[in-house]
Amino acid sequence: MTRRVALINMPFANAERPSLALGTLKALARESGWLADVHNFNLRFARRIGTKAYAFLCGTSVTTKEQTRRVTVSMDHLIGEWLFAQFFYGMNETRVAEYAEFLFMQSDFSTHLRDAILEIRFEVATFVAECFSSVDWSAYAAVGFTSTFEQTMASLCLAREVKARLPHVKIIFGGANCEGVMGQALARNFPFLDLVCTGEADLAFPRLLHELHSDGEWWRVPGFVARAPHGSTGGRPRGTRATRECARSRDATRLRGRARR
């Protein structure tokens, strides 16, 4: 198996700071003898819709021409998730109207600002297509997505495209949005996800890479909820005895390596 993995940072990750999680996983992959490429597609979307608009959707307050005071997107609005859900599930003008009414009632956005936000949904399909066409996904044994705050729907959109075209590539999800039962629900509801890390990926990721390279039972790696080759989901989430044993084993391996130096 090719020892190369892609690590994906989708909207709406902050465009001004890199992903610490993906940087850590890239280093762990290198330690395990794998090549890892980080693709910051959040920056691509920021360029597409404009850096100011992107920063606003990430929570930066702005002052519009119609409003003298500054306005800020609330996490309660889930605008980023809603925009990509329109591509994932298909647009429905009735639902768009309902969401527009929700924004009008739940925020102090002007009509112009609200309409500008809703228009961004038309950029998503082209963006997802560009993300897919810009990378040779066949070069990877696995593609991992980090999901924190409003990155889940954008990640699902691209993950579905990759899996549909290249079913042999393992799709991995992780991050704060995959913690515990949230990760179990993702694995259960989206069959194109092969593995969802429900805890600390830096403990389980090296073990997973080893199992993938050796054609081992990757779906049994502690810390992941996995879709086994026969299609069912299984595995033990974080906090289990198996996960702690995995951590102790990794620490012992590092100590042995240092002792040889």
Where are the chain's structural domains? 4-43+126-251
In a structure prediction context, what are the per-residue pLDDT tens digits for the chain, which is 261 residues long? Answer: 789 999 999 999 999 999 999 999 999 999 999 999 999 999 999 999 999 999 999 988 876 665 556 778 888 899 999 999 999 999 999 999 999 998 888 777 888 888 999 999 999 999 999 999 999 999 999 999 999 999 999 999 999 999 999 999 999 999 999 999 999 999 999 999 999 999 999 889 999 999 999 999 999 999 999 998 876 566 555 443 344 444 455 454 454 454 444
Read off the pTM. Answer: 0.87
End-to-end CA distance of the chain: 30
The CATH number assigned to the domain with range 4-43+126-251 reads 3.40.50.280
Task: State how far the Cα of 130 lies from the Cα of 1, in Å rounded to an integer.
Answer: 27
Q: Tell me the one-letter amino acid at 3.
A: R
Structure tokens at 109: 């956005």
